[in-house]
Amino acid sequence: EKAFNQKSNFIYHMRKHTGEKSYSCSAQNIDVKRHRCSFCEKAFNRKSHLTSHMRTHTGDRPYNCSVCEKAFNRKSHLTIHMRTHTGDRPYSCSVCERAFIKKSSLTYHMRKHTGDRPYSCSVCEKAFIQKNSLKYHMRKHTGDRPYSCSVCEKAFFQKCGLTYHMRKHTGDRPYNCSVCEKAFIQKSHLTGHMKRHTGDRP
């Protein structure tokens, strides 16, 4: 049972249940978003949502983690991040034993059980669980590689690809084996390496 210290917050919360729009045009029956970003074209129903959005432009991150050095532009993002420290995983799969930090992660996971792949490629027959996966896939068709290395000429479909590549230049290997002295650029490489120690081979 949620409680609210302001009536306006209670009214806004109830609209999530009823589906009622905050501001509607009586002439055209369309949703009116009154708070517009001065940097881009996005508009929002609530001023607080615009305030949070503006931080993506200004770089302001007022919500700091008390455990590590990370900071966030939204309080909800900090709440989710704190679960990585506490181990809290409130979203559990009803089919298997996996649990997740974010509700969206559970949604994507459930699609693996149901086989639902709502994001389809318009060029080939591939379909994806997440919208971002489709976006990255489309770059293979278009040849778009927006993430370029500042040291050499390589470019990548995804930002993580550039991140891993840059570690080859810097020598950074943040994933260390707890058994031997080896260190790795990617977590998946460490996971594969650990199977040699445990004998767990698929």
Q: Which fold has domain 172-201?
A: Double Stranded RNA Binding Domain (3.30.160)
CATH placement of domain 44-80: 3.30.160.60
Q: What is the mean pLDDT of residues 111-120?
A: 96
Domains 44-80 and 121-170 share a fold: yes
**Residues 151-168: tens digit of each pLDDT:** 998 999 999 999 999 999
**Residues 76-90: tens digit of each pLDDT:** 999 999 999 999 999
Q: What's the pLDDT at 29?
A: 44
CATH class of 121-170: alpha beta
CA diameter of the chain = 70
Alpha carbon dihedral 160, 164, 166, 169, in 10-degree steps, equals: -170
* Of the candidate ranges 35-49, 85-99, 102-116, 129-143, the one whose mean pLDDT is the lowest: 35-49
Q: Is the pTM of this model over 0.75?
A: no
Going from N- to C-terminal start, the domains of the chain cover 44-80, 121-170, 172-201
Q: What's the pLDDT at 99?
A: 97
**Residues 17-47: tens digit of each pLDDT:** 655 544 444 444 445 678 899 888 889 998 9
Q: What's the pLDDT at 97?
A: 87
Cα angle at 16 between 10 and 22, to 5 degrees?
Answer: 80
Q: What kind and span of H or E run contains 165?
A: helix 159-170
Whole-angstrom Cα distance, residue 136 to residue 144?
A: 9
- Average pLDDT along the chain: 86
